[in-house]
Amino acid sequence: MPKFTVDEELAALVERLAKPKPFENLSFNDALKRLLQQHITPKKVDEELEQLLAESMALAKKEPKKVQSPSPQKWAASVPDLKSKEGLSTWKAICSLLKIETGGDSARRKLKNWVKANRPTWPPVPELKS
């Protein structure tokens, strides 16, 4: 969380404008919140929040979405040597069964290259769909 340096004059002004009751002990944060609540109308806040929300949603729509990996179970079921094997629910599990070292790389990509080189008769490992 960011921290801000506040001058003593500004802190005193905020405290004075927040109008604390006699002997009321307010932190700077509480005094600033009170001051902002007194000077910002709810309608204006709602409009600003709506605008911020709209901007945020527009950014979210612009950002590329993560591409979902093809189904390893579906592919394994299409391979005669693998369809009877249990627990092949991830690309990593398939690689482990076939003793393919992934070394931190994409298991699906490593499997794809291994199939091309070692089992050309097997169905190709599916590509990511954009």
- Is 81 among the domain residues? yes
Closest CA to 26 of 15, 12, 16: 15
State how far Cα 73 lies from the chain centre. 26
User: Where does the pLDDT of residue 44 fall: very low under 50, low under 70, confident under 90, or very high at 90 and above?
Assistant: low
- Is 39 among the domain residues? yes
Q: Which helix (H) or strand (E) holds 73?
A: helix 72-77
Q: Cα separation of 27 and 18, whole Å? A: 11
- Is 128 among the domain residues? no
- Is 125 among the domain residues? no
Same domain, 19 and 54: yes
- Is 1 among the domain residues? no
- Is 15 among the domain residues? yes
Average pLDDT over residues 99-110: 89
- Is 49 among the domain residues? yes
Question: pLDDT at position 8, please?
Answer: 86
Domain total in the chain = 2
Measured at the CA of 112, the angle between CA 109 and CA 118, to 5 degrees, comes to 135
Q: Is the pLDDT of residue 120 over 80?
A: yes
Q: Cα separation of 25 and 8, whole Å? A: 16
- Is 48 among the domain residues? yes
Question: pLDDT at position 124, please?
Answer: 92
Q: Which domain covers residue 113, as residue numbers?
A: 72-118
Task: Tell me the per-residue pLDDT of 63-83, one tens digit each, with 9 for 90 and over.
Answer: 666 777 788 999 999 998 888
Check residues 60 and 5 and name the one with the higher pLDDT: 5
Average pLDDT over residues 99-124: 91
Same domain, 46 and 87: no
User: Where does the pLDDT of residue 9 fall: very low under 50, low under 70, confident under 90, or very high at 90 and above?
Assistant: confident
Counting every residue written for the chain, the total comes to: 130
For 89, left (φ over 0), alpha (ψ -120 to 50), or beta? alpha
The pLDDT mean for the chain works out to 83
Check residues 60 and 127 and name the one with the higher pLDDT: 127
Same domain, 53 and 22: yes
10 Å CB burial of residue 21 (0-12, 13-18, 19+) is exposed
Question: pLDDT at position 64, please?
Answer: 67
